[in-house]
Structure 1
Amino acid sequence: MPPKSLVCHYTSATLSKIESLQLKNGELFKTKWEKVLKPIVEDYMGQLKKKGIRKLLIYGTGRGEEMLHSVLKENNFEVLGFMDSNPKKWGEVFLDKRIFSFAEAKTCNNSLRGSVAPDSQPLTTANCYDAILIASQFIAEIKDTLRKNGLTENIIAPIIFSVK
Structure 2
Amino acid sequence: MSAISNNPDFRALMTRHLGWLADCERVFGPTTALQCYGRFHATDAQTPDWLVIGPPRQCYANSGRQFLSRVAAGDDTVHYAEGYAIDLTGVPVPFEHAWLVNGDTVIDPTLSASRGYLYFGVAFDTPFVMEALRRTGRYDGILTDGVSMRRYYGTPELFERGLRNPQRDAMPAA
- Same fold by TM-score greater than 0.5: no
Larger Rg: 1
Query: TM-score, with normalisation over the residues of structure 2?
Result: 0.28
